[in-house]
Amino acid sequence: MHHFQYRENRLFAEDVDLTALAEQIGTPFYVYSEATLRRHMRVFRQAFEHTDALIAYAVKANPNLAVLKILAREGAGADVVSGGELQRALEASISPEKIVFSGVAKTFDEINAAIDVGIYQFNVESEPELEAIAKIARARQTTAPIALRINPDVSAGGHEKISTGRTEDKFGVPWSMARSLYGKARALEGVAIKGVDVHIGSQIAELAPFESAFKKIATLIADLRADGCPIERLDLGGGLGIPYGEGVTPPHPKDYAEMITRVTKPLDVQLIFEPGRMIAGNAGVLVTRVVYVKESIDRKFLIVDAGMNDLMRPALYDAWHDIWPVEKTERDITEYDVVGPVCESSDRFAKARSLPELLPSELVSIMSTGAYGAAQTSQYNSRPLIPEILVHHDQHAVIRQRPSFQKMIESEVIPTWLV
Ligand SMILES: *Cc1c(COP(=O)(O)O)cnc(C)c1O
């Protein structure tokens, strides 16, 4: 459910007319619905009410400060994967006791910064990282709270490039090494074992892979406790898919919660979740204008002013995004390849997509782009980062500005010998 709906054939974000907004802001731009963000966070929270679960929003999905602030107000913590994300979470007033730190390459500076503020937990992905954290904590005469991220070796559907829970993926501690590494952690001064962490991938559309991974982890917890490890938390990561309009219907958070309660109840642990896409994905759209319609031999290209640098998912993961005309018409349905201006053949948002006929200067909305959209943007082809707009009822605010060309190049320096 989201708040992007047609009113008399014009697409609105909550009570804001996107045609009028495009006039004011200039295209392309992202627009997020605050009500949708809050709703998704509440649905997730309600699925686990009556538990002490920590919902640590995966900042990487959409790290905009205003988005973090909204989610913080809804009770979210943060799952961060870099010092920059840690800084953002703190800036949005997310309490350090609600921050977990994931990622395979935490550096000395990042570990120090996280110990400084007193985060809730490091999700440790390897033996050398475990040793590094312990060493830094010892030098500071403190103890760092940790969980080991275990790779349960399950295949989680989804796209090849977003699967993380198989042996060949770089993430986590291999299943067969888990117990012995916990043994090592137990004997290590500078770290305190708090729990177990697992995250098997993203855009997972069925419960089965989650269930088989979580059941495996439950058996591991029993073994670890038998070994004398005090496991009091279980971080189940993120990964719950969303409908992108391609006919896939991922499980409702309620059913996900029901399965998890069944599998984890006997363990008596605090659950931690790291949802990203499920919170932000359907809370945002990318509004872009048709520049040209190009007739080729065997197809028509709808050339729009947004490119793969503004939204990478189709080029990176062959992702499907629904594309809606911002003004509904009764025109004939035509098949278009919807492409951007970037000088790459992979700069294509959709292939042979059926749309009502569109004309230059008309607007289309690329749907479900609130997660891993603006977050992955670059300035490739010297295209300034596009603005992000937040809508709240009939109000809107620019929450990231479009930099000028001057701003875009101001950090570059010509060396003295070239001046
Ligand atoms: C990316 C990521 C998430 C969020 O995944 P979603 O599919 O967006 O829910 C959570 N935890 C970790 C460790 C991640 O890398």
Q: What is the average per-residue pLDDT within 238-248?
A: 93
Q: In this structure, is residue 417 part of a structural domain?
A: no
Query: Does 382 share its domain with 405?
Result: yes
Query: Does 205 share its domain with 176?
Result: yes
Residue type, 212: S
238: domain CATH number is: 3.20.20.10
Q: How far is the CA of 363 from the centre of ligand 1 (A)?
A: 32
Between 15-24, 36-45, 147-156, 399-408, the lowest mean confidence (pLDDT) is in: 147-156
pLDDT of 138 strictly over 80: yes
Q: In this structure, is residue 414 part of a structural domain?
A: no
Query: Does 61 share its domain with 177?
Result: yes
Q: How far is the CA of 80 from the centre of ligand 1 (A)?
A: 10
pLDDT of 159 strictly over 70: no
User: Residue 276 CA: which ligand 1 atom is closest?
Assistant: 8
Query: Does 11 share its domain with 38?
Result: no
Q: Which residues line ligand 1 (CB under 6 A)?
A: 58, 60-61, 79, 102, 199, 202, 237-240, 274-278, 371
Q: pLDDT band at residue 168, thresholds of 50, 70 and 90?
A: confident
Query: Is 214:199 a contact under the CB 8 Å cutoff?
Result: no
Query: Is 277:241 a contact under the CB 8 Å cutoff?
Result: yes
Q: In this structure, is residue 300 part of a structural domain?
A: yes
pLDDT of 341 strictly over 90: yes
Q: What is the pLDDT of residue 94?
A: 98
Q: pLDDT tens digits, residue range 15-40?
A: 999 999 999 999 999 999 999 999 99
Q: What is the average per-residue pLDDT within 78-95?
A: 98
What is 49-82 written as a DSSP string? TTS--EEEEEGGG---HHHHHHHHHTT-EEEESS
Domain end position, chosen among 279, 305, 324: 279
pLDDT of 246 strictly over 90: no
Provide the strand spans (E) within 315-347: 323-325, 333-339
Number of domains in the chain: 2
With b for 16 or more beta-carbon neighbours within 10 A and e for fewer, the 108-121 pattern comes to eebbebbbeeebbb
393: domain CATH number is: 2.40.37.10
343 catalytic residue (yes or no)? yes
Domain end position, chosen among 235, 255, 279: 279
Q: In this structure, is residue 416 part of a structural domain?
A: no
Domain end position, chosen among 241, 263, 279: 279
Query: Does 171 share its domain with 225?
Result: yes
- Predicted TM-score (pTM) of the model is 0.96
d(CA 237, CA 152): 13
Q: What is the pLDDT of residue 162?
A: 62
Q: What is the pLDDT of residue 1?
A: 76
Query: Does 23 share its domain with 79?
Result: no
According to DSSP, the residues that pair with 123 across neighbouring strands are 147
Query: Is 51:269 a contact under the CB 8 Å cutoff?
Result: no
Q: In this structure, is residue 418 part of a structural domain?
A: no
From residue 362, give the alpha-carbon distance in Å to each of 288, 289, 374. Answer: 9, 6, 22
From residue 241, give the alpha-carbon distance in Å to each of 133, 316, 356, 373, 418. Answer: 32, 17, 28, 15, 51
Query: Does 84 share its domain with 14?
Result: no
Q: What is the average per-residue pLDDT within 92-117?
A: 98
Q: In this structure, is residue 401 part of a structural domain?
A: yes
Query: Does 136 share its domain with 236?
Result: yes
Q: pLDDT tens digits, residue range 35-85?
A: 999 999 999 999 999 999 999 999 999 999 999 999 999 999 999 999 999
Sign of CA dihedral 275, 284, 242, 37: positive
Q: What is the pLDDT of residue 284?
A: 98
Query: Does 149 share its domain with 203?
Result: yes
Q: Whose CA is nearest to atom 3 of ligand 1?
A: 238
Q: What is the average per-residue pLDDT within 249-264?
A: 96
Domain that holds residue 374: 4-32+281-409
Q: In this structure, is residue 184 part of a structural domain?
A: yes
Q: In this structure, is residue 97 part of a structural domain?
A: yes
Angle, helices 108-117 vs 127-139, to 10°: value is 50
Site to probe by mutation for ligand 1, drawn from 129, 197, 199 as the one with most ligand atoms within 8 Å of Cβ, is 199
Q: What is the pLDDT of residue 157?
A: 58
d(CA 419, CA 414): 7
Query: Does 344 share its domain with 304?
Result: yes
- Residue of 297, 333, 343, 418 with catalytic role: 343
Query: Does 44 share its domain with 177?
Result: yes
Query: Does 298 share its domain with 255?
Result: no
